[in-house]
Amino acid sequence: MLESLRDMRLFVAVYEERSFTAAAERENATQSGVSQHIRKIEDRFKVRLFTRGSGAVTPTPAGDSYYRHCIEVLRSNEAASRALMTFGAGLDGEITVGLMPTMTRCAMAPALARFMDRHPNVVVRITEAYSAMLIQQVRAGELDFAVVPAFADTVGLKSRVLVRTPEILVSSGRLGLEHLAPVRLSDLEPIKAVVPSWQNIRRSTLETYFSSNSVKVDRLLELDAMLGTLDLVANTDWVTILPGVMMASDIKSRGFCVNPLADPSLETDLVLIEPARQPLSPAAHAFLDILEGETQSLNALWKT
Q: How far apart are CA 7 and CA 21, in angstroms?
A: 16
CATH number at residue 152: 3.40.190.10
Residues 224 and 195: beta-carbon distance below 8 Å: no
Q: pLDDT, tens digit, for every residue of 104-158?
A: 999 999 999 999 988 888 999 999 998 989 999 999 999 999 999 999 888 999 9
Same structural domain for residues 64 and 123? no
Same structural domain for residues 283 and 148? yes
210 pLDDT exceeds 70? yes
Same structural domain for residues 10 and 78? yes
Work out how many domains the chain is built from and give that number: 3
CATH number at residue 218: 3.40.190.290
Same structural domain for residues 260 and 142? no
Q: How far apart are CA 206 and CA 102, in angstroms?
A: 16
Same structural domain for residues 168 and 233? yes
Same structural domain for residues 156 and 216? no
Q: How far apart are CA 109 and CA 115, in angstroms?
A: 10
Domain, as residue range, for 220 = 164-266
Same structural domain for residues 169 and 262? yes
What average pLDDT does this structure show over 2-7?
A: 76
Residues 233 and 173: beta-carbon distance below 8 Å: no
Residues in the chain: 304
How many other C-beta atoms lie within 10 A of the C-beta of residue 32? 10
Same structural domain for residues 202 and 262? yes
Q: pLDDT, tens digit, for every residue of 50-94?
A: 998 777 799 999 999 999 999 999 999 999 888 777 666 568 899
pLDDT at 1: 47
Half-sphere exposure of 278 (CA within 13 A, CB side): 23
Q: Which residue has the higher pLDDT, 304 or 74?
A: 74
Same structural domain for residues 274 and 151? yes
Same structural domain for residues 136 and 181? no
- List the Cα angle 241/246/252 in 5-degree steps: 100
Helices (H) and strands (E) in the chain, counts: 11, 11
Same structural domain for residues 156 and 179? no
Same structural domain for residues 37 and 70? yes
The CA distances from residue 117 to 68, 94, 114, 137, 290, in Å, are 39, 15, 5, 28, 12
